[in-house]
Structure 1
């Protein structure tokens, strides 16, 4: 398993929970399938830049904040 994908997944899940969103709600707001959100959170998939931007917008944070937190944990 890719450690960066795993760290991104942890950051994503924490941001989602802080926002009070379910995986389904986040996926709807980001226009991606909920199973993909699940795979991202478990570190099974690496998101593209466009997905990171959509997730960040849905979470009301910047993509830079998400990536910076992944960098901090690396």
Structure 2
């Protein structure tokens, strides 16, 4: 299992469920929009600190971003 890809898919899924853009998530977290884009595509391996910021911006627990839930949300 590629955990970086899983994380990116979950960030995208929760962001879309929240109805916010990458730009809005960037504003909420202080993380650059391009970094969020790279993260969602599985090109970035974030630090625990960044993972926490993203989770806070999405209003989910950090662990939720690392759980394989069996759904495919593209």
TM-score range (shorter-chain normalised) is 0.7 to 0.9
SS at match of 1:46: coil
Instruction: Calculate the TM-score normalised by the size of structure 1.
Output: 0.85
Q: Tell me what 2:54 maps to.
A: 55
Query: How does 1:22-61 map onto structure 2 within 5 Å?
Result: 22-61=21-60
Q: Distance in 2 between matches of 1:8 and 1:66?
A: 5
Following TM superposition, the consecutive aligned residue runs of length 4 or more in structure 1 with deviations greater than 6 angstroms are none
Structure 1 alignment gaps of length 5 or more = none
d(CA) in 2 for partners of 1:52, 1:19: 17
Name the one with the larger helix percent: 1
CA RMSD of aligned residues (A): 1.6
Counterpart-to-counterpart distance in 2, 1:44 and 1:3: 11
- Write the deviation string for residues 29-56 of structure 1: whole angstroms up to 9, x where unpaired: 0111000000000000101100110011
1:57: how far off? Answer: 0.6
1:12, 1:57 → 2: CA distance?
Answer: 11
